[in-house]
Every structure is written in structure tokens, then in C-alpha cells.
Amino acid sequence: MKFETKLIHAGQEPDKQTGAVIVPVYQTSTYKQDAIGKTRGWEYSRTGNPTRKALEDCIAALEGAKYGLAFASGLAAETAVLNILKTGDHIVAGDGLYGGTYRLFEKVFKKWGLKISYADSANPPAFKKALKKNTKLIWIETPTNPLLAVTDIRKIADTAKNSKAFLVVDNTFATPHFQRPMELGADAVVHSSTKYLGGHSDVIGGLVVTSNTKLYESMKFYQNALGAVPGPWDAWLVLRGIKTLAVRMKAHETNANIAAVFLKKHNAVKKVYYPGLKEHEGYETARKQMSGFAGMISFELKGRFKAADAFLKNLKVFTLAESLGGVESLACYPATMTHAEIPEKERIKRGITEGLVRLSVGIENPDDLISDLKQSLSKLLRQA
């Protein structure tokens, strides 16, 4: 089955009992058992639910993995992955990470004795250098949030294999439409399905896939033991969103390309971060491992906080909000929003400056998006 067909059919056979073409929302917490120990395959909805299972099978098929697991949020999915480790184990993580992932590492798992080092996301040898005897996991996000650095997945997968560590890739920004880390050697892939997979800014969710049976069984155990599972409605919303992933991602990318080229030429803009621009540091790696550059752009204004504040206030089509990947265009100020959890010194070192703005380019008509950026940037120039 080709990718676009899997989006619509994988894990989603018509309902056996009724023939319903769309997977029903199994809004039940529990299931009748015919005798002690004799179930029809379902016991309790924290452990398993048919709507959730359809989503889990679907994401596994899309990422080219054997197993999928669904969670109540992206961070819940990450929590289940991190629970496979034990006190004293070491993680090497790319330094380009969603602020909430950084917070989970620094403020939750460090407390329980996990050791974490960060390596430059754009520099594979830095990961090798950061390895320790007790390194059990390498964690990357590519492209990174918010600076769109690109990590060479194949090179990091080799490093992980040589050191007997698992490689986990957060594929939220690219989605399996544009990038399939399992095919490049990753052991597991995580998603915030709140973003492009859900696609309509109406649900919070997380997903994990793997083809390693031991890893799957361990994460499945933690899915049930920790209990951060999505309700059937939320699983259903993500399944519905996924059906249109291919058409949406193409439109996001077309619009983001237009916006990136426009921003790059504008006088109020100092630097544009978009992996589809030839001058972007990760352009060649992105071309090698991705089939498109997706819809996220960050850029640095020539001014600092005041300029960013005025620019964001003046936008009319773009909405100032956290999150990304919905059909509507959003703008965000990483320094105090998505990446506020990273201490200021560290944040600036990582390039998340006072002039940095992040755009999730939606699928509206690109003329309206460009006019909106243009009117708000022109006001900035007039005020300067």
C-alpha cells in the first residue's frame, strides 16, 4: 500500500459487526468478560481500546514500524520512552529540543538519577564525543524546535548502534509524510500528534512507534502502568486528521517556501531559519533524508523584544499562540512561550534570542499570509 492509501486505510478496516466505514468511537471504560479470565480481547480501556488501537496500528504503518502506542500528549509519550531507563543511565540529546522536552529531562528525570548531556544537533561528531560508558539512549528532534536545525539521522543511528544505545527521533516537525526515521536506523520515533498529525488544533496527543519487540513491550507496560492514555474521542480525532496528512503537508510546504523567500528579502528581517532555503546549514542533509521541508519557519528580526512584540501584535491572519501544525497559521515567541523553561543564558547560547519569531505556516491562501506578514513588517520599519 502506498503512503497516501495507508493514511486512509491502515488500521481502519470497516467495523466487523456493523460495517461502519469509519472506526467507531468506543466510548467505554470496560468490557464484558464471558467467564473469569475469558475476554474478547479487551479488558479495560487504560490497557486497550479499539479506537486507540486503530490509531496505534495506523501510525506504525505510516512510520514503517511493527508497533505503535498512543498517549495523552507528546510529553506523555516521551515519559513512557524515558521510563525504559533506570537510575544512573545516560542520555545524549540534541541541543535543539522543544522546551517541554528539555523541562522533562532537566526537572523530572534528572531528579530520578538520569544523566543527560547535550550535543550540537547539527554536528554528528559531537554526539560521538558526548557518549559515556553508561549511555543508553540518544535523543534527537529533527528538524529542531524552533531553529529548524537538521540532524543527520543515519549518522546518529550508526553512532547509537556502535555504542549499543537506542536512537529515539522526535518526528513531530517533519511527520512521516516527509521523513521516516525508522528507515534511516532509528529504534523508536515519537510524535506530538497535537501538531500536524491531528492537524486542526483541536486535540492533544502523543505517539510512539518501534519495531523492537522488547522495547515495545516495555513501553506498552509503561503506557498501562503510568496511565497517560488518550480517550477514544481524542484517538479518533487524530485518526481523522491523519487521513488528510498528505494533502495538508504539501500545502503547508508550498506556503512555507513562499513565506521563507519573502522574509529573507525583507529589510526588517536579519535571518531566516527554514531548511528549504539553500543557505540553511541543514539544507543538504534535509534534502538527503526528507522528501520535503514542511511548514515551520523561524526568523530573527533586526530589533529585539519591542520589535517582536509589535510585529506579533499587528498580525491579522497569523494568530499569536503556542503549538503548530494546524491548518491555521500561528506565530509564536519562543523565548517566553515554548522555550521559556530553558534558562536565559542557555537559551541565548542555543540561538533563541529576543528577536526570534516562529511561524507555523498554515494552508490559507498564500497571498493573504504574505500580505499579513508584509503589513506587520512594514509597520515595524515605519516605527524604526
> Which one among 54, 70, 75, 251 touches ligand P1T, defined by CB under 6 A?
75
Residue 258: how many other CB atoms lie within 10 Å = 15
Phi and psi at 382, nearest 5°, equal -65, -35
Interaction with ligand P1T in 55-74: which residues (CB under 6 A)?
73-74
Nearest CB to ligand P1T, comparing residues 331 and 380: 331
Contacts with ligand P1T, 336-365, as mask; x by CB under 6 A: --x---------------------------
Active site residue 15: no
Least distance in Å: CB of 292 to ligand P1T? 17
> Which CB sits closer to ligand P1T, 99 or 366?
99
Place of cell 537506542: 166
3-state helix, strand, coil in the chain (%, to 5): 40, 15, 45
Taking CB under 6 A as the rule, does residue 223 contact ligand P1T? no
Is 248 marked active-site? no
Judged by CB under 6 A, the residue of 28, 163, 254, 323 near ligand P1T is: 323
Given 195, 248, 347, 350, the catalytic residue: 195
| Residue-wise DSSP of 96-110 | ---HHHHHIIIIIIG
Active site residue 46: yes
Partners of 115 in the beta sheet? Answer: 90
What's the gap between Cα 200 and its chain centre? Answer: 15
- Residue environment code for 116-149, b if the CB has 16+ CB neighbours within 10 A, otherwise e: bbbbbbbbbebbbebbeeebbbbbbbbbbbbbbb
Q: Give yes or no for residue 300 binding ligand P1T (CB under 6 A).
A: no
Among 7, 119, 204, 380, binds ligand P1T (CB under 6 A): 204
Q: Which of 31, 46, 243, 379 is flagged as catalytic?
A: 46
170 tagged catalytic: yes
Scan residues 126-185 and list those touching ligand P1T (CB under 6 A).
141, 145, 170, 172
CA distances for 271 relative to 254, 302, 317, 320, angstroms: 20, 8, 22, 20
**Grid cell for residue 247:** 494533502
The site for ligand P1T (CB under 6 A) is made up of 73-75, 98, 100-101, 141, 145, 170, 172, 192, 194, 204, 206, 322-324, 332, 338
The residues assigned a catalytic role are 46, 98, 170, 195
